[in-house]
Amino acid sequence: MDYNEFDKHETEKLGEISLDEQVTPVPAEKKRPNKKRHGAGAAVAGMLAAVIVLGGGAGFGGAYLAGRNTAETSVSSAESGNSASDNSGSSTSSGSTVLNEIQKDVSTPVHTATENVEFNSDGTYKYTRDLVSAVQDSIVYIEVFVDYRGKKTLYGSASGIIISKDGYIVTNNHVVEDCDSFTVKVNSTDAKSGVSESKTYDATLCGTDEDTDLAVLKINATGLHAAALGDSDELRLGDDVIAIGNPLGLETSVSKGIVSGLNRQISDSVRGLSSIQTDAAINSGNSGGALFNGYGEVVGVVNEKYVQGYAESLGFAITINEAKDVIDDLISKGYVSGRAVLGITYTPVSEEIASYTGRDAGWTVTEINSDMPVAQSGLVVGDTITEIDGVSVFDENVMEVFTKKKPGDTVKVTVTRYDGFNRRRSVDITVELSESKG
């Protein structure tokens, strides 16, 4: 499949997206203390990469915006994310342990042919070229492959951010999902000549999370140019930001813009993270890269672009503060911990479908995980769930019931059931929630 075919699909998918304003108030910004910068040390960040999603999920970009509810209109698995969590992975806490450890020796050496790098009075880079020189080698080119008829077949390409010197790389879930293997091209640029050399590595997948559209890859390498992760809470409307990625395979492409919006809630997932809106050019293949602030720090992982005939310059990046805990869990556990799930697979039956098929409207249970407490709850295959803790399964906020719960908590599940005489009755069942393993 060629690039044009992918682009056509992506544009069609993204054109279906409705950007309803679900903007939460932006908290008062803290004034960033001036940083004393020297030619040898300015904080590095990952490069902005944008997403334009494909139907299958490879990383030219991402149809992430358009396809978030797909699972809820087909056979859905509570174990795989159709149950909600206590919002683990969506907090802005700085309690990350593994991530703190691998970032502790990450600095931002100025990587430029210019001898005297200049900074503004607030410590930001004065010239975009110096910022780009300092951080460009922390952005990688990712290719994803599928096994097709016994052959390794290129499925797409995207971007990623090196976050540790020993090869941990952050990208988007939609870049790697449904793919079988991955390669990562790492650049090394000579500071004086500006000549770049590259090396390609096979990568392994550490973990991936569909709800937050984040994933972590690992390559077997040392001494890499890692990006420093900044503080996205310090961003203010109008701040300059830099996007660097690999749109349509054009490696290390740079675009510049401003912060156009903060705290945008544009994901359909109840666990979706807040996004930064920017007018920096975002194109297919930027997915998984980073949005830089003026200090050269990663403040966002770009993953979405709004595409429609009358819309322009609407790109989005996941806030790095909210992404940190997710990244930490994906590295240390391979999944995001603390998410409560029922542990069932179900088929949603709308009231309209029920009216002409004779079935009961609700979530029809098709499978129960025998290794989870739900198996001992009394819930059985064939039951139709109509309410959870008194909230109708047709209520758009039903999944939010789970965001307030933790594994080990219980919910009251109301089901319709037929006895041996085909008599219909309503039954309330108490179910202990389990932890999703991703």
- Of 174, 260, 274, 337, catalytic: 174
> Hunting for tokens 């334009």 — which residue is that?
52
- Does 180 qualify as catalytic in the annotation? no
Contact 377, 432 (CB under 8 A): yes
Residue whose C-alpha is closest to residue 229's, from 292, 278, 280: 292
Instruction: Please identify which of the residues 86, 130, 213, 268 carries the catalytic annotation.
Output: 213
**At 156, which amino acid appears?**
G
Q: Phi, psi (5° rounding) for residue 86?
A: -90, 20
**Active-site residue (options: 88, 232, 275, 287):** 287
Whether 287 sits among the annotated catalytic residues: the reply is: yes
Say which residue the tokens 């040392």 belong to.
222
Of 393, 396, 397, the C-alpha closest to 415 is 393
User: Cα–Cα–Cα angle for 147, 150, 155, nearest 5°?
Assistant: 25
Closest CA to 155 of 57, 49, 11: 57
Decide if 174 is catalytic: yes
* d(C-alpha 253, C-alpha 247), whole Å: 7
**How would you classify residue 216: left for phi > 0, otherwise alpha for psi between -120 and 50, otherwise beta?**
beta
- Catalytic site residues? 174, 213, 287
